Structure 1
Amino acid sequence: MSEVIGEKKEDDLFLIQIRLFRLAQNKWNLDEKECSNLFNKYKIYDYIETCYEFFHLQGDEANLTDIENYLKNNGAEI
């Protein structure tokens, strides 16, 4: 049974990462490559995974605001 729960979490995490990527891309007016470069440079996918327990409880807009703050605190300009 734990495998099913683990797979569900992995699927949910993947969907959160995709939604936040698309939302960031639209909000920050970046093309796919620019947004991908930003996410990779600042390890945003890892950050989302680290914050999963918190992120899956709140909405995407609040999560993107958290990511924006994380990026700004790490010297990114968005």
Structure 2
Amino acid sequence: MPEQQQILFMQIRILRMASERFCLTLKATAELFKKFDVLRYIRECFGIFHVEGDEAVFEDVKAYLKAKGADL
């Protein structure tokens, strides 16, 4: 599978996981991710993220959001 497709799949999985864990709609989660440029962050960190499980990636994204000032 091409890397761009792998990145897209990871972005979608983490978006859905965040929606569930933060008790937000997918739309609200997508808006949060857009505001803090999370999809770019996942794309740029994919080299490390692709060897980690989704749980570890989610925890990293959550820490990134908190560091950027997101109210979770």
Give the TM-score normalised by the residue count of structure 1: 0.89
Q: For residues 21-69 of structure 1, what are the alpha-carbon distances to aligned partners after superposition, in whole Å with 9 as ceiling and x for unaligned?
A: 0000001110011101100000000000010001110000100000011
* Residue number in structure 1 paired with 2:11: 17
**Gaps (5+ residues) in structure 1?**
1-6
Taking the aligned partners of 2:18 and 2:66, their CA distance within structure 1 comes to: 14
Residue 52 (structure 1) aligned to one of 37, 46, 49:
46
Aligned residue pairs total 72
* Residue number in structure 1 paired with 2:21: 27
* Residue number in structure 1 paired with 2:59: 65
Following superposition, the deviation at residue 77 of structure 1 comes to 1.0
Give the TM-score normalised by the residue count of structure 2: 0.96
Taking the aligned partners of 1:47 and 1:25, their CA distance within structure 2 comes to: 17
Taking the aligned partners of 2:27 and 2:17, their CA distance within structure 1 comes to: 14
**Gaps (5+ residues) in structure 2?**
none
- Residue 75 of structure 1 aligns to a residue whose secondary structure is coil
Taking the aligned partners of 1:69 and 1:25, their CA distance within structure 2 comes to: 15
